[in-house]
Structure 1
């Protein structure tokens, strides 16, 4: 099952290539137009310029989507780094001397509360990234929860550097997740997709009615060109939303955040047995 999920583009492209090949050889070879077979209406050499132009357009759009994808690849690692830094600032808060004379400044910091808050924030970010809707009303209130940790420390006279560090890392994480939200919600311009779909339709149509010098050339060229263009189209569509976890081929690697969660649960403010 995992093999299939991570190769959906290849599988879909192969199915499309076989479908076009089947339609040409089992449907179009039985059709004619004023005595001319449908699958021999034009010479392949007459339309090679169209294939060249189509590859050029697909290449330009692929380069554009790759730019956002390369930026998106950095976001999970940067978010995990900021969460790790917040965790370290919390450790500093426990060790650094505290100031103030109020009752809150005298009480012991609640390690259970801080542990649950960090796990809740981390789980919330992971769930949001894995969600299909990427709801902004969920993620931004969630990020503010890490500032609640800073407020908690400020009321209890914790070292100011720890409070400042938590707020700085929270703001950096907010920018990164805002960028992820923007990339996920704002798809490539619609006219560009219409252009790609039009080119794909034209290429497939010409392949169906093109004449080849031999049956072997017919099978190989038709299937190869169909596979390549379908693959490019699906690749561009997938790269356009790298945070779509339902597309296993082109989603960004979320291991940095998943690994951070494992470390957080295993060792962060874990109560030691007496």
Structure 2
């Protein structure tokens, strides 16, 4: 199943090429217009300029979508780095001297609460990225949970550098996830997709009525051009939203966040409530 999900573009393009061959050889070869067969109404040499122009347009739009995709590739790693930094600031909070004379400043930091908060934030970010809707009302309240850790530390007289570091990394993570939200929700301009679909339709229609010198050339050229244009169209559509879980072979790699989640669950503040930092490590 995973093999198919990671090669959906190739499979869809292959099916489209096969469908065009079947339609041309089993439908159009039986049709005629004023004694002229439908499958050889025009010569291939008459339409090569159209194929050249179509490839040029597809290439321009592919280059445009690649810009956002390149930026999207960086986001999982940057989010994981900020989460890792927040985790390190929490470690610092345990080690650095605390100030203040209130009762809260004298009590031990709740390692269970902090661990649960970090796991909840990480799980929420992963679930949001894998979600189809990318709901903004879910992700932004979730990011504020890391600020709640900063508030928790501020009430207990934790080192100010740790509090400042958590807030700075939270703000950086908010910018990165906002960018991911923008890329996912704001698709390429609709007229551009209309142009691509029109070109694809014109190319497929011309292939159905084009005459070739031999049956082998007919099969090879028709299938190859259909495959290439369908592949380019599906690739552009997939790259336009690299966070779409339905496009398995054009998704950004989420391994940095997944690996951080594994490290977080395995060694971050593992222990019972009230356990000191030195005992945890």
Which TM bucket (shorter chain)?
A: over 0.9
Secondary structure of 1:249 counterpart:
helix
Deviation, 1:259, is: 0.4
Q: Which residue of 1 aligns with 2:247?
A: 247
Between the aligned partners of 1:57 and 1:63, the Cα distance in structure 2 is: 10
- TM, length-normalised to structure 1: 0.99
Could you tell me which runs of 5 or more consecutive residues in structure 2 were left unpaired when the two chains were aligned: 274-281
Between the aligned partners of 2:119 and 2:9, the Cα distance in structure 1 is: 35
Between the aligned partners of 1:168 and 1:195, the Cα distance in structure 2 is: 43
Deviations 1:10-66 (A, max 9, x none): 000000000000100000000001000000100000000000000000000000000
Between the aligned partners of 2:186 and 2:2, the Cα distance in structure 1 is: 29
Could you tell me which runs of 5 or more consecutive residues in structure 1 were left unpaired when the two chains were aligned: none
Secondary structure of 1:272 counterpart:
coil
8 Å CA contact retained: 2:76, 2:256? yes
Deviations 1:211-270 (A, max 9, x none): 000000000000000000000000000000000022111000000000000000000000
- Detail structure 1 runs of 4+ shifted over 4 Å in the superposition: none
Q: CA RMSD in A?
A: 0.9
Between the aligned partners of 1:249 and 1:22, the Cα distance in structure 2 is: 27
Deviation, 1:272, is: 7.5
Q: Which residue of 2 aligns with 1:16?
A: 16
Between the aligned partners of 2:247 and 2:203, the Cα distance in structure 1 is: 25
Count of residues paired in the alignment: 273
Deviations 1:174-195 (A, max 9, x none): 0000000000000000000000
- TM, length-normalised to structure 2: 0.96
Between the aligned partners of 1:246 and 1:112, the Cα distance in structure 2 is: 36
Between the aligned partners of 2:152 and 2:135, the Cα distance in structure 1 is: 27
Deviation, 1:271, is: 1.1
8 Å CA contact retained: 2:112, 2:272? no
Deviations 1:152-203 (A, max 9, x none): 0000000000000000000000000000000000000000000000000000
